[in-house]
Amino acid sequence: MDKLTEKYNSDPFFDELIDFQGQARTPAKQLLEYLDGLPPEELEKRRITAEATVQEMGISFTVYTEEGNIDRAWPFDIVPRTIAATDWETTAQGLKQRLTALNHFINDLYHDQRCIKDGIIPEHIIRDSKNFRPECVGVSPKYGVWAHICGTDLVRDEHGEFFVLEDNLRVPSGVSYMLENRAITKRVLPELFENDKILPVGAYTSDLFDTLAALSPREVERPEIVVLTPGIYNSAYFEHAFLAQQMGVELVEGADLFVDEDDCVYMKTIYGPERVDVIYRRIDDLFLDPEAFHPDSVLGVAGLMRAWKAGNVALANAPGAGVADDKVVYAYVPDLIRYYLNEEPILKNVKTYLCDDEKDREYVLAHLDELVVKPANESGGYGMLVGPHSTKKEQQLFAELIKANPRNYIAQPTLKLSTAPTLIGKGSLEPRHLDLRPFILQSKNTYVTTGGLTRVAMRKGSLVVNSSQGGGSKDTWIVDTKGA
């Protein structure tokens, strides 16, 4: 392995494949020994094969720009990220614990609001939330679960410990890329899958189907499940189509559905209307139903909220679940776990400063050049200030934004995100920062993906991993190291 890593150095960051002595960590030994045996020209050949596979499979994403929407090929790095299965077992338990507590919290908010009455979270945090939906008060979804599909962003610090960076509970995306990353890697590095020590990820779509089917309000052998998409111009349309195809269900737009006088949802087919039981919706709350939310929305279905409240159709994720998808609420999640589950959090939060708090706000304003400042409800890496990489002008702008609307901002230390070897140029490896988005499913049962979507900052020194901001992706290997 020395040949491949002799110039590789990630100090002072925790590298997930190579330790501080330049030796392979246990889950990465087989991978790095194999890569070490490949000459640079062969590594370049594998990289080109990966690019061709992405083109052949049509794996793309959309970037919104002032000039219009741009469809781009999925950026992929062929060197996988490896994690020991024993480490992942603990992480997966922490993810289950977290989503369970969040669902208790959401359900409580739309019913008794005990968490507010008992002082666990301030009332104004919920009152001023952009994602609290008064229309959902009193609704009781099946199993008490509101967020059925969650994408939780994890990062590793300089000691290799996982921290939760944020929870994505509205319409989390990216799981299709996790699955396609594995398909690409099997084409590019097929030899490494022969010993079965790399745990599979392919069960996700069957687990997703089971999660959704369990929500059906009708006792039928095979519930009618549909994926509701905003359409081909949505940035995640590739994923919508992919998941519908993999589950064997219909991909529909709002115009394909209607609600009848009995508050049941039907899908238009060439054979006539067909009753729909479960809708996996990939449309934001406010566009779901023009009767209940934006009256000019053409993406949703008139009467859908009536059908849902009547218990005639299940919606995943449920409207209103986004109240917990708030970076201010995030800061209270450890306390919510203790409150609802009477357990200590397995996974830690990143240290978070709430700009709504006077003391925290003073600290943030005095240290903008050191902190990462985030708006409460943005996603995709938009609207952030990365202090150490910002200008004085940008810091001044954010100071004004924070003062004008302190409830809308949090700040966190600039983490020393872990790195992993990434193929740069022809056969050369350099460390690049990364994060991880595993996916958790919850209805009757709870499932956690074996790993998740690893996103990597392709630019040297960058901490921004979002594909829309120039980031790329890697396959994530959970490796059974027993006996290694």
Q: Which residues pair with 348 in a beta bridge?
A: 163
Q: Are the beta carbons of 43 and 429 closer than 8 angstroms?
A: no
Other Cβ atoms within 10 Å of 421 Cβ, number: 27
> What are residue 34's phi and psi, to 5 degrees?
-65, -50
Per-residue model confidence (pLDDT) at position 322: 95
Per-residue model confidence (pLDDT) at position 200: 94
DSSP 235: T
pTM above 0.85, yes or no: yes
Per-residue model confidence (pLDDT) at position 62: 56
Other Cβ atoms within 10 Å of 151 Cβ, number: 23
What domains are defined for the chain? 99-148+202-341 (3.40.50.11290), 352-413 (3.30.1490.270)
Sign of the CA dihedral running 58, 61, 320, 450: positive
What is the b/e burial string over 398-415, where b = at least 16 CB atoms within 10 angstroms of the residue's CB? bbebbeeebbbbbbbeeb
Per-residue model confidence (pLDDT) at position 484: 55
| pLDDT per residue as tens digits for the range 125-174 | 999 999 999 999 999 999 999 999 999 999 999 889 999 999 999 989 99
Per-residue model confidence (pLDDT) at position 470: 64
Full strand arrangement of the beta sheet holding 278-281: 250-252, 225-228, 278-281, 314-316
Per-residue model confidence (pLDDT) at position 65: 45
Sign of the CA dihedral running 215, 219, 223, 227: negative
Q: How many helices (H) and strands (E) in the chain?
A: 14, 23
Q: Are the beta carbons of 346 and 334 closer than 8 angstroms?
A: no
End-to-end CA distance of the chain: 17
Mean pLDDT per 10-residue interval, the chain, length 484 residues: 61 88 92 90 88 78 51 81 96 98 98 98 94 96 98 93 94 92 93 88 96 97 97 90 97 98 97 97 97 94 98 98 94 98 98 95 95 82 83 94 94 91 82 95 97 90 69 93 70
Which residue matches tokens 């939310």? Answer: 293
